[in-house]
Amino acid sequence: MDEKQVARAINLNDGSKMPLLGLRTWKPSHLPWTSVQYAVEAAIAAGYRHIDTACCYGNQVDIGKALHSKMQQGIIRRQDMFIVNKCTCCAVEDIPKCFNTSLTELQLDYLDLFLLQCTAGLKKTSDDFFRNEGTILTSDVDYLELWRAMEALQASAKVKNIGDSNFNIKQLNKLLHLCKIPPAVNQVELHPYLTQEELIKFCKGTNIVLIACRPFGSPARTPRLIREGSDPNKLLQDSFIVDIAKKHKRSPAEVLLRYHVQQGIAVIPKSDKSHHILENTKIFDFSLTEEDMIRLKRRLQSPS
């Protein structure tokens, strides 16, 4: 990383640095997205050095093409990039299979971060999301067994750091008491309608970096959060956030991303539009006031 990248990064518990801004490449499976390669190339051109994907996203081949295209152009080297992958698994043996598939499809020799995507084993079904008539089917596999397989991967030196996704305080606490290698990060949904302040406090106290994977809300996945004035379909249109954006002459998206970064939380907004991708890099050029931060947390407190 150059000096600018280092200043826009956060230290993980092994001393390595992770860029605070990344590109999330998830897209609902029922919607077409043929521009993943373009989005990753646009992100790299805009200065992103953190790319997030997962085994189940089905886009690793295109991401690999984008990475190698930029490497061949001399714009980046492998060591400049921080590549994150996640595994949603059915059993312990699925973790190395998923990992090796990811390396092959991404055309990489190692990953910077590999995450255990859920806290339970999942039963295999005919689709990619382990569902039966819309219900996710879990198995009796303990996530501690899954974590031991993650630790074995890190010992192989093919991944620099391992972490979790969607873990709560109770699950993290159990893991920390029984693991050999503590998680470097916990990737969860965070935004002003889902503040998770206790989780933020816990992770800071245990040296686990948080990554906000849905900083603009999650309209397709959070109907429980819809209440008067806090529809996750309309987080970017919330009048309170719009007013703060106008005060700083920024977009609501920039305010929401800055809200996290200013707390030492990494953000991975997703977009396939080059102007949005570029706009998101501007979050390091301004700061929210202490009053802005307090009002965002208090006024938009998530329901218990």
Which residues are identified as catalytic?
57
Tokens standing for 244?
């703060």
Helices (H) then strands (E): counts for the chain: 11, 12
Cβ–Cβ contacts within 10 Å for residue 234, how many?
A: 15
Angle between helices 252-261 and 239-248 (to 10 degrees): 90
Report yes or no: 256 and 241 within 8 Å, Cβ to Cβ.
yes
User: What stretches of the chain adopt beta strand conformation (E)?
Assistant: 9-11, 17-19, 23-24, 50-52, 82-87, 111-116, 131-132, 135-136, 159-165, 185-188, 209-212, 266-267
**What is the rounded CA–CA span in Å between residue 158 and residue 180?**
18
Secondary structure class of 280 (helix, strand, coil): helix
**What is the rounded CA–CA span in Å between residue 116 and residue 273?**
29
48: amino acid identity, one letter: Y
**What is the rounded CA–CA span in Å between residue 284 and residue 273?**
20
